């Protein structure tokens, strides 16, 4: 604490990201990065941007990327917002769409950045308990609210909510924005972007950090009604005109254009996930059904914190949350087949 701080800073509770270890030899299965590299076409596009033009500011609107996303999803560019990672896109949505005096609703077990943004922007919130199977029950969201947000698939559970349930939520809450955070949707879900033309209260956020393997580039996006996008643009243009640099715009657009590489790497991650789930169950773990690039598992006889510490000693890092309801679970990112083998061998030991 310092006398120079604005008063509200002392009460901020920041998000704690997963560890990024300096050691390269660790098997890193703790932050849901993609085990495969970015599209070679994306890398080539980024390399081509490293030239004298870097003296010039980038396109403040990232039009080239908006067009690539619009083409991919069959929407209009004015239905697309792009930002510096989906965390920034989510922050602008909290700031611009959730400050209505009524509480924001999100699951009790979910992405731990949501309460942090509520703290930053002074938004009241209520958590809604997942059911005993750790699934979202849309009927439980039937209460006064100033907005609803959840990841789909949910994080850190990996569990998917079907599109018809999302549609029921949208219909039951016509006066609230429902924000579906689809960070992991490409690993087994169906995007709610298919619904944006029918529901002006739907905003869908996505990231290039997971399924498109560009966590280091920092690119995220949102798709929704142009009026919702306009609110995000107003916030963005009151904060930072150039959230995406020239390299990021070029690389992200090329990543969306390279459908083949994207589909093939997603397919491999999904196949590995199914193999890891089977192997963990054979070792006695309970594993929640996952539609993501990670799994959420507990062992009925072994303490999760001890398992995580034992894995770490063997050079494998996974994520453990000391939160109520989930303190006996481990969240494990799906790696390459070699990394998954190292995980399973270490667990068996």
Binding to ligand PLP, residues 211-230 (CB under 6 A): 215, 220
326 token code pair: 């989930």
Q: Which residues contact 9 (CB under 8 A, 6 or more apart)?
A: none
Indicate the residue among 224 and 342 with the shorter CB distance to ligand PLP.
224
Q: Which is nearer to ligand PLP, 96 or 220 (CB)?
A: 220
Site string for ligand PLP, 82-101 (x = CB under 6 A): ---xxx--------------
Q: How far apart are CA 217 and CA 182, in angstroms?
A: 18
Smallest gap from Cβ 151 to ligand PLP, in A, equals 4
Contact 220, 205 (CB under 8 A): yes
Closer of 8 and 239 to ligand PLP (Cβ): 239
Contact with ligand PLP (CB under 6 A) among 30, 209, 211, 290: 209
From the list 46-54, 79-87, 93-101, 224-232, the region that binds ligand PLP by CB under 6 A is 79-87
Distance separating alpha carbons of residues 179 and 231, to the nearest angstrom: 14
Task: Report the nearest approach of ligand PLP to the CB of residue 309 (Å).
Answer: 24
Among 177, 178, 181, 299, binds ligand PLP (CB under 6 A): 181
Print the binding letters for residues 99-138 with ligand PLP: x by CB under 6 A, - otherwise.
Answer: ------------x---------------------------
Give the three-class secondary structure for 116.
Answer: helix
Phi then psi for residue 104, to 5 deg, are -75, 140
Burial class of 149 by CB neighbour count within 10 A (0 to 12, 13 to 18, 19+): buried
Concatenating the DSSP letter of every residue in 273-323 gives HHHHHHHHHHTT-EE----SSEEEEE-SSS-HHHHHHHHHHTTEE-B----
How many residues lie near ligand PLP (CB under 6 A)?
Answer: 12
Q: In whole angstroms, what is the distance from residue 107 CA to residue 168 CA?
A: 17
Nearer to ligand PLP, 119 or 315 (CB): 119
Position 245 contacts ligand PLP (CB under 6 A): no
**Interface with ligand PLP (CB under 6 A):** 85-87, 111, 151, 155, 181, 183, 207, 209, 215, 220
């Amino acid at each position: 604490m310092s006398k120079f701080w604005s008063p509200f800073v002392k009460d901020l509770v920041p998000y704690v990201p997963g560890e990024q270890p300096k050691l390269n030899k660790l098997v890193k299965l703790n932050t849901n990065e993609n085990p495969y590299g970015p599209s070679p076409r994306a890398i080539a596009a980024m390399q081509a941007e490293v030239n004298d033009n870097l003296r010039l500011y980038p396109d403040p609107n990232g039009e080239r990327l908006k067009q690539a996303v619009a083409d991919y999803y069959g929407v209009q560019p004015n239905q697309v917002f792009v930002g510096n990672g989906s965390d920034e896109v989510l922050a602008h949505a909290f700031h611009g769409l959730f400050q209505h005096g009524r509480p924001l609703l999100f699951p009790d077990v979910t992405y731990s950045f949501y309460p942090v943004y509520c703290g930053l922007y002074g938004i009241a919130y209520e958590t809604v308990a997942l059911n005993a199977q750790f699934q979202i029950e849309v009927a439980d969201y039937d209460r006064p609210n100033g907005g609803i947000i959840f990841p789909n698939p949910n994080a850190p559970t990996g569990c998917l909510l079907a599109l018809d349930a999302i549609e029921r939520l949208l219909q039951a809450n016509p006066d609230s924005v429902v924000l579906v955070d689809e960070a992991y949707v490409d690993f087994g879900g169906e995007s709610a972007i298919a619904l944006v033309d029918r529901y002006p209260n739907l905003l869908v956020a996505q990231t290039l950090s997971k399924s498109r393997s560009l966590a280091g580039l920092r690119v995220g996006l949102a798709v929704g009604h142009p009026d919702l996008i306009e609110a995000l643009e107003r916030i963005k243009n009151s904060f930072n005109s150039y959230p995406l640099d020239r390299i990021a715009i070029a690389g992200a657009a090329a990543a969306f254009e390279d459908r083949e590489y994207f589909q093939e790497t997603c397919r491999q991650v999904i196949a590995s996930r199914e193999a890891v789930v089977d192997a963990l169950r054979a070792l006695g773990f309970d594993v929640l059904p996952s539609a993501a690039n990670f799994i959420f598992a507990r062992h009925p006889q072994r303490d999760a914190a001890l398992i995580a510490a034992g894995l770490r000693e063997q050079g494998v890092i996974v994520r453990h949350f000391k939160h109520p309801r989930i303190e006996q679970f481990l969240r494990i990112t799906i790696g390459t087949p070699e990394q998954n083998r190292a995980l399973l061998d270490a667990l068996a030991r």
